[in-house]
Chains A and B, each alone.
Chain A
Amino acid sequence: MADRKPIYLMTPALLWLTGFMVIPCLLILALAFFRRGIYGGIEYDFTLENIALVFDPLYVGIFIQSAIIAGQSALIASVVGYAAAYAIAAMPKKRQPLLLFLAILPFWSNYLVRTYAWIVLLNREGLVVAVARALGYDQELPSLLYTEGAVIVGLVYNYLPFVILACYAPLARLNTEITEASRDLGAGGWTTFRRITLPMTVPGIATGFVFVFVLSIGNFVTPALLGGGQFQMIGNLVYAQFLTANDWPFGAALSMALIAVMMGLLTLQTFATERASGGRAEGDAHG
């Protein structure tokens, strides 16, 4: 096939992406340097005050709070996800695809609905309370919903299937003979796990952790629905700038900061995976 042809095939899509993704994103980048107008419009004066505002302790604090929540969610999801993936990989080989499918299935359903389900469970007249009452617990229960804990549960719930998938891949690829060799040389089950299985499957955990963290920190829906009005993460903040406070330049600056944080994390992850992947070749199961 002539090399000329491919360009024609790709052009329509690339034009679309350029026009409706690249340019809008560049626009946001530019927007961060403009001034908010008195009535909420945009004044096209170059200014750095939005960028400076991002570094204001108030907003830095919100970034940090978002990072902490994202970090906790990522941590919990990673531990639970790894345990689940390990369990699936320990099942008879024939059952594994089915189990994996069942683990991923919830991930395919609507994100809003999955988050809403937790409202049903956690709110004042929700299921958890109903069960507690049924068990005879009559006192006033603290509100479970609209707390930081609820947001974390929501985030973990939404991203857990992906972590399971990410951790499953290296676990399934692990050559059985390597763990058997460890036992043959005298190591017990826990030592084998700690010194052989875990180090060799770390890339999967890293991928899962970063995925959850990155998606959580920029998340808007979950903190909005499960965190209630008072709850502010970066996602909600950006939303507010654009739809209530009408300070688009500042919102743009915040988004830029968010992207910067994400890019930093992704680079770190690529770096860490490359270091750990020194062992990929021999660790894979041979035919």
Chain B
Amino acid sequence: MTSALLTIRNVEKHFNKYHAVDGISLDIKENEFFALLGPSGSGKTTLLRMLAGFETPTVGSILLDGEDISRIPPNHRPINLMFQSYALFPHMTVAQNIAYGLEMEKLPKAEIKSRVNEMMEMVQLPHLAGRKPEQLSGGQRQRVALARSLVKRPRLLLLDEPLGALDKKLRGEMQLELKRIQDQFGITFIVVTHDQEEALVMADRIAILKDGKLLQHGTPLEIYEYPQTRFAADFIGVMNFFPATVHGGTLKSADGTSFRAEIPDTISAGDDVMAAVRPERLHLGAGEKENSLTGTVRAMAYHGLDLQVHLDTPLSPQPVMLRLTADAAEGHALSVGDSITAGWSARDTRVFAA
């Protein structure tokens, strides 16, 4: 079993009375692409800055390869940070920017030169070596920022909202590019983002943060299919929620309908809960599914890949959404106002405390 590369142990960060980070513990492995995911104010950026060394934990410790680095200043840590604004040095050329970190290591000139050239080749920038940052496009600047940090071969690379400044198409390309680079270099990446889609695409494992606390961590699949909190269920992807109460082994919804679900041990009979189902798990027609609902079509949105059907139902005050693939939608001509039935499995139902 590989021991963790980075251990965050009970870390808290207080600014006067405000706890930006409120007791987080995490292990991050070697050669892993890890995402810290959360809305603004969740503490993810503060945590990242503590890893980089720009903040010191008020409580707790940060261990790298078993050694406590919590108090080591940023210029002495084998960890590098790629800033949200890239923070390229405007008065230096691309090559000089990339060389900077190596100069700080006091390496011989020849070695610096060769490593810089090598790195520029790897991020496809060699033709831009003599340019200044203001002459580069957003995507090019990002690659320079990446190259500048990677050339130092850190144990850990931190990325603060790396794709926020890019347009949609570029973002998609860069997501895959970052994954490729991480894989190629074998360096652990920790990415901070508020974009759950980005996290799902890029990361090997994700940690969900809210209000300074760690809600859940796991692989993208685990997070998506098995959210442990209502917040996570809502934050990741789209989720349909129905209020219900527990009766025996089943759930009873607001309008009296029963449906089946796996009820977690923490919830007892008589409790009020929120049941949840993913839109893609709802199928047209009751079929052989354990659970079903009926509703009126309120709106439909065609997205190419899928058809989103919004139903008004007595089950929930919010409209329920179905995601139908092209195959599933075929043969059923739907219009606004139609009354339809949708079914889903018990095991696709999630249950959270209300």
Contact = CB atoms under 8 A, between A and B. Distances in A.
Q: Do chains A and B touch in the complex (CB under 8 A)?
A: yes
A283 B76 CA distance: 25
Given A186-B105, A186-B152, A187-B104, A279 B81 contact: no
A6 to B, nearest CB: 36
A185 B101 contact: yes
B85 A175 contact: yes
B158 to A, nearest CB: 9
Most central of B73, B86, B87 by chain A CB within 10 Å: B87
A177 B84 contact: yes
Nearest to B54: A180
B74 A180 contact: yes
Interface stretch (B88-96, B177-185, B261-269, B286-294): B88-96
B91 A184 contact: no
B162 interface: no
A196 B96 CA distance: 12
A146 to B, nearest CB: 45
Interface string A242-281: 0000000000000000000000000000000000101111
A76 to B, nearest CB: 26
A185 B104 contact: yes
Given A184-B74, A185-B148, A186-B152, A177 B87 contact: yes
Interface residues of A, number: 25
B134 A278 contact: yes
A184 B134 contact: no
Contacts of B75: 183-188
B188 interface: no
B281 interface: no
B87 A279 contact: no
Given A185-B80, A185-B152, A187-B75, A175 B87 contact: yes
A281 B90 contact: yes
A24 B54 CA distance: 61
A191 interface: yes
Interface string B173-217: 000000000000000000000000000000000000000000000
Contacts of A199: 91
Given A177-B83, A279-B132, A282-B133, A184 B89 contact: no
Contacts of B52: 184
A101 B52 CA distance: 36
Contact of A180 (B87, B105, B133, B152): B87
A181 B75 CA distance: 9
Contacts of B104: 185-187, 191
B74 to A, nearest CB: 5
A182 B90 CA distance: 12
B100 interface: yes
Contacts of A279: 89-91, 132-134
A278 B90 contact: yes
Most central of B83, B86, B91, B149 by chain A CB within 10 Å: B91
Contacts of B148: 181, 185
Interface in A188-225: 188, 191, 195-196, 199-200
Interface string B136-156: 000000000000110010000
Contact of B91 (A181, A191, A278): A278
A175 B88 CA distance: 10
Nearest to A284: B90
Contacts of B101: 185-186
A180 B83 CA distance: 9
A286 interface: yes
Contact of B88 (A184, A186, A280, A282): A282
Interface in B50-100: 52-54, 73-76, 80-81, 83-91, 100
22 contacts: A175-B85, A177-B85, A177-B87, A180-B74, A181-B87, A181-B88, A182-B100, A183-B75, A184-B52, A184-B74, A184-B149, A185-B101, A186-B76, A187-B75, A187-B104, A200-B90, A278-B90, A279-B133, A282-B88, A282-B90, A282-B133, A286-B85
Given A180-B74, A278-B90, 7 more contacts: A180-B81, A181-B81, A184-B81, A185-B152, A186-B75, A278-B91, A278-B132
Q: Which 8 pairs, one residue from A and one from B, show the smallest C-beta to C-beta distance?
A: A279-B90, A186-B104, A185-B101, A181-B87, A177-B87, A282-B90, A279-B91, A281-B134
